[in-house]
Amino acid sequence: MGLPAGLARTTRFNRFNRLHRIARLARIARAAAPRGAVAAAALLATVTLVGCPRESATRPAQDDSRSPGASQPVTPSSAPPSATSRAPVPAGVPRTVPGPRSATSVPGPGWRPAAGARVVTDPEGPLADEARLLAVELKMTAAGTPARPGDIELALRPGQSGGDEAYELTADDHKVLVTSAGEAGVFYGTRTLAQAVRSGGGLPEGVVRDAPDRGQRGLNLDIARKHFTAEWIEARIRELADLKLNQLGLHFSDDQGFRIESESHPEIVSPQHLTKAEVRRIVALADSLHITVVPEIDSPGHLGAVIKAHPGLQLKDASGTAARGAVDIANPEAARIVDDLLREYAPLFPGAYFHLGADEYRALMAKDPEASYPRLAQLARQRYGDRGRVQDLATAWLNDRAGVVRGLGKKPKAWNDGFFTGGVVSADKDIEVEYWTGKELGARDPQEYLNEGRRVVNLNDEYLYYVLGEPNQFRYPTGERIYRQWSPAVLRGTTAAPQDLTGPDRVTGGRLAVWCDFPDAQTPQQVADGIRLPLAAVAQRLWDPRPPTMPWKEFSALAGRVAP
């Protein structure tokens, strides 16, 4: 799947600043009673699913749709298409992945692309890029308002209900109107429209009101243990965008490699790596498609590439045996180097988050950390008193790194097995828990984190871990199993956590995760092919977490039809 490669859109290269120019347009309730022709038509069929944006009684005062002042077309356009040149689109719900959560079908011809049809919006406005992209996809022309029969109009409506990712898509009077309070919502409306054309030739007459159930939806990619080219990553970004997924995690530092160019510590960088210019290109493309790239520098474990260049940082147990990938957290030099890297890469990734890892620190995977690592145990008692333990040092390390990224304007994330209970030191409350396992030594039940009031993101290794080579009893996840059995509430194993603890404000989303434990087990193309249907299933369940009604065979066939 992929959007046109040539539309990385230089007008949005610095879009991080531009995104905030609209201040993400307030989440105030809005209305939008269907426009005259739709409201007057006799209702043919209504399909209403949970979680759709509610309407209020009046339309907001500021509405840039149907602007009376015509702008100059972006490109020359032909005469208006004939309103009767195409057969009516069959009534019903547009067939898309993910499927709309609310759609109302009314009598009418619907809308199909036709010769001379245009995608219209203010050519100098915030939706110009969305208009140009959709025009390329549907082989239409991008132009300025006003809309005429056959056209698609894109418009921002401050105050439209549902938030910046919610959208309303109306087919009426041989025209289509896509509106949202935010640019992302309009973009998702264009994804629904493009997929409806691919699956059914056009958009049925009526109104789609749609919004995601979870705010974080995406893919986690291990580029540390296996090098993926910038072009391959960009292809995955386009695939995510078409599925309305909005997050790409990049795990680029591990024992096997460090894969992004560094000026502060060039000695740790692997021969195969992404240049910063390539990363900027990746981030710019992602940003233009409303995807946030989340960088991860895992510490104090998984730092083998750093230790290779700085062997004095290696943690060793009481017998002198090296703890694989673990730095000695009693050594201030280890913290200095990691903080150098956090400060270097924060500006490269302008999104809201920075992932700090914190998982599988070898000292804490020992049955008796204090006996196995007596020097760490002694330091813990010196700092925290007689009750001080090695876990307190590790938790303080996590809090210190969180403080660094917080000072750089980032929200910290960490893996669930980096959070411990019963210690003198507790992990900062604002560190978001990325729950992946209940199998590691000391791993806690997800309900514990939720009971503490923490926000949790679902990366359940039972369903969402695509581990190359299938080590440690992992099996490649299937889209069908995710589609049938998983939901955001299924954080550990196959059992859902309590419903009252797993709403969108608590379990904020999830990601499919690719881990490259055996990097040569699959080629990049095999990885892309292998995650295609799992990604589609994850997109569906994060957009609408209820058990799907469409049979899997039909859904998987649809996923193939709507792919660009």
pLDDT band at 392 (very low <50, low <70, confident <90, very high): very high
Give a yes or no: residue 56 inside a domain.
no
d(C-alpha 20, C-alpha 182), whole Å: 11
From 150, 180, 210, the end of a domain falls on: 210
**Residues 368, 275 share a domain:** yes
Whether the per-residue pLDDT at 28 is higher than 80: the answer is: no
pLDDT band at 440 (very low <50, low <70, confident <90, very high): confident
**Residues 366, 511 share a domain:** yes
Q: Which residues of 336-348 are buried (b: 16+ CB within 10 A; e: fewer)?
A: ebbbebbebbbee
**11 against 187, higher pLDDT:** 187
Look at residue 443 in the predicted model and tell me its pLDDT.
78
pLDDT digits (tens, 9 = 90+) for 99-154: 999 999 999 999 999 999 999 999 999 999 999 999 999 999 999 999 999 999 99
For every residue of 345-402, which 3-state class applies, written as one string? HHHHCCCCEEEEECCCCHHHHCCCHHHHCHHHHHHHHHHHCCCCCHHHHHHHHHHHHH
How many other C-beta atoms lie within 10 A of the C-beta of residue 351?
18
Look at residue 442 in the predicted model and tell me its pLDDT.
66
Q: What share of the chain is helix, strand, coil (3-state, %, to 5)?
A: 35, 20, 50
**Residues 222, 197 share a domain:** no
Residue from 130, 296, 360, 434 carrying the catalytic annotation: 360
φ, ψ (nearest 5 deg) of residue 414: -155, 155
Alpha carbon of residue 138 to chain centroid: 25
Look at residue 173 in the predicted model and tell me its pLDDT.
87
What's the CATH number where 436 sits? Answer: 3.20.20.80
Q: Which runs of consecutive H residues, i.e. helices, occur in 466-523? A: 479-485
Give a yes or no: residue 30 inside a domain.
no
Look at residue 45 in the predicted model and tell me its pLDDT.
38
Look at residue 86 in the predicted model and tell me its pLDDT.
65
CA dist 539 to 114, 247, 487, 522, Å?
30, 11, 11, 24
**Count of structural domains within the chain:** 2
Look at residue 63 in the predicted model and tell me its pLDDT.
44
Whether the per-residue pLDDT at 304 is higher than 90: the answer is: yes
From 210, 231, 250, the end of a domain falls on: 210
pLDDT band at 371 (very low <50, low <70, confident <90, very high): very high
Q: DSSP state, 129?
A: H
Please state which of the ranges 51-60, 335-344, 516-525 shows the lowest mean pLDDT. Answer: 51-60
φ, ψ (nearest 5 deg) of residue 274: -90, 135
Helices 332-345 and 390-407, packing angle to 10 deg:
30
pLDDT digits (tens, 9 = 90+) for 449-469: 999 999 999 999 999 999 999
**Residues 288, 432 share a domain:** yes
Give a yes or no: residue 55 inside a domain.
no
Q: DSSP state, 242?
A: H
**Residues 260, 116 share a domain:** no
**Residues 184, 229 share a domain:** no
pLDDT band at 47 (very low <50, low <70, confident <90, very high): very low
Is residue 360 among the annotated active site residues? yes
**Residues 265, 142 share a domain:** no
Look at residue 53 in the predicted model and tell me its pLDDT.
38
**Residues 159, 264 share a domain:** no
Give a yes or no: residue 86 inside a domain.
no
SS3 554: helix
**Residues 108, 139 share a domain:** yes
pLDDT digits (tens, 9 = 90+) for 317-330: 999 999 999 999 99
pLDDT digits (tens, 9 = 90+) for 212-266: 999 999 999 999 999 999 999 999 999 999 999 999 999 999 999 999 999 999 9
From 179, 210, 241, the end of a domain falls on: 210
Give a yes or no: residue 46 inside a domain.
no
pLDDT band at 274 (very low <50, low <70, confident <90, very high): very high
Tell me the whole-structure pTM to 2 decimals.
0.86
Give a yes or no: residue 75 inside a domain.
no
What's the CATH number where 133 sits? Answer: 3.30.379.10
Give a yes or no: residue 404 inside a domain.
yes
**Residues 220, 206 share a domain:** no
Q: Hey, what amino acid is at 497?
A: A
Residue 135 belongs to what domain range? 102-210
481-507: average pLDDT: 97
Look at residue 447 in the predicted model and tell me its pLDDT.
95
Look at residue 25 in the predicted model and tell me its pLDDT.
29
Whether the per-residue pLDDT at 84 is higher than 60: the answer is: no
Nearest to 328 by CA among 317, 315, 339: 315
**Residues 206, 231 share a domain:** no
Give a yes or no: residue 410 inside a domain.
yes
Average pLDDT, the chain: 88
Percent of the chain with pLDDT over 70: 84
**Residues 143, 252 share a domain:** no
